[in-house]
Amino acid sequence: MQVKAPTHRPHAAAADYLKKRSSSGAEGYAAVTDRVASMLAEIDAGGEERVKRYCRELDGWTGELVVSRSEIEEAGARLAKTTREDIAFAHQRIRDFALAQRDSLREFEVTLVPGLVAGQRLIPVTTVGCYVPGGRFAHVASALMSVATARAAGVSNIIATSPANAKRGGIHPGVLYALQLAGADVVLAIGGAHGVAALARGLFSGHSADVIVGPGNAYVAEAKRLLFGRIGIDVIAGPTDTLVVADDTADPALVTADLVGQAEHGVDSPVWLITTSRALGEEVIRRAPGVIDSLPPASRDAATAAWRDHAEVAVVADRQAACALCNEYAPEHLHVQAADLDWWLKNLVNYGSLFLGEQSTVAYGDKCAGPNHILPTMGAARYSGGLNVGKFIKTVTYQRMTTEASRELAPVAARISRLEGMEGHAMTADIRLAKYFPDEDFDLANPETS
């Protein structure tokens, strides 16, 4: 099976494109699937020793794979006081939002008929694996987003993993400090698909993950996709994407900066502008190269390719058309820079996270605002939201009933079972009526099958 390449849904709304993408982003996906499937099979067979070998071969890491408690504690001491305070500030917002989400869920019981009580319980999963990327960037915020949310949900065991950098001597200290603050129980220094496999199998920790969450590269995303079913996952993710929708009240400097800032994520990260103002669209296109050139080399290279190959700028007639096109894109991040924000909040329905007004830039949400930044990509916002405490909680049901309630339900269950051709099911209703009400005569035959 091949992983689905990132694509747009067909655009239903009429639009005049001042700039269109030049690449579908589909290149190389079959090779990723084959490689990851092979790695997972090898780790299934070879266990921890095969993971250690992948760490040496792919990451250049020969150190310990389980990060010691002393190393985690020392990481905080290596950070400046302001850095620790910033991480704590972000953690508090993320934790508070996740706890509010948890409080919005509830258990209940309801009497459906006299004597029949049905209910709902909310049970946290036992073990969660949190993947924290560690390539070009030190993903401190991702560490907080996954671990703090799992902790707020009441998860017992939280195992985090992040690739170790040999030049740095391990995992970035900011990431380690964030993992400790958020409440990770075990931290592994393993990256890539082999890190995901270690979480799924419980290697080095003794706790196999029930759910694995967190962003990562194509290999990480594919490992999660291939393991889905054996474990739960947050989202099947592709490259991060961002859409700004703007009218003639928007500031072109801010719009351009917001698009370029998100293009920094990677060479395959789409950024899109939908606007009711042709002048704004043209001005953003004019400004973008200069803003990209102002970035440091690695970010500049990523943003240059992302803007060249994946950026789109569309002009539409009015806000209704803009809204319709936004809902077709179903972006991961949707930033509204337009008048009458309440109208947009009411009418936009497909997005991972919504940012209302020019003050609410996506970067705030990425780092410290509170709502989770682990979000659906590739149009998956049509049917899925982002990571939340509900991902770590099983909503399960139960029922109990009196003999009199069984008297009311049993004949119905028997007749529907016989309509479906399931005599064994019908028998379990029949036998209860015979036990509890031996002197009564019930019509148990379905007229369609008798």
Residue 215 shares a structural domain with residue 278: no
The pTM of this model reads 0.91
pLDDT at 169: 85
pLDDT at 205 over 70: yes
Q: Is residue 55 part of a domain?
A: yes
Residue 9 lies inside a defined structural domain of this protein:
no
Q: From residue 125, how far is each of 25, 201, 209 by CA, in Å?
A: 35, 16, 9
Number of domains in the chain: 3
Does position 209 have pLDDT exceeding 80, yes or no? Answer: yes
Say if residue 318 is in the same domain as residue 440: no
Question: What's residue 68's pLDDT?
Answer: 95
Catalytic positions, written as ranges = 332-333
For 273-299, the pLDDT digits (tens) are 999 999 999 999 999 999 999 999 999
Q: Are residues 110 and 195 in the same domain?
A: yes
Note whether residue 77 is domain-resident.
yes
Residues 227 and 213 in one domain: yes
Q: What is the pLDDT of residues 59-74, one digit of tens each?
A: 999 999 999 999 999 9
CATH number of the domain encompassing residue 96: 3.40.50.1980
Give the whole-number percent of the chain exceeding pLDDT 70: 96
| pLDDT tens figures, 14-50 | 899 999 998 766 566 789 999 999 999 999 999 999 9
Does 244 lie in the same domain as 107? no
Please state, rounded to an integer, the average pLDDT across all residues of the chain: 93
284 and 213 both lie in a single domain:
no
Beta pairing, strands 353-356 & 333-337: parallel
Domain that holds residue 450: 402-450
- Backbone φ, ψ for residue 8 (5° rounding): -85, 155
Is the confidence at residue 3, as pLDDT, over 70?
no
At 4 the pLDDT is: 44
**Mean per-residue pLDDT for 313-341?**
97
pLDDT per position as a tens digit, 352-375: 999 999 999 999 999 999 999 999
- The answer to whether residue 364 is domain-embedded is no
pLDDT value of residue 138:
81
Is residue 21 domain-shared with residue 34, that is, in the same domain?
no
Within a domain: residue 255? Answer: yes
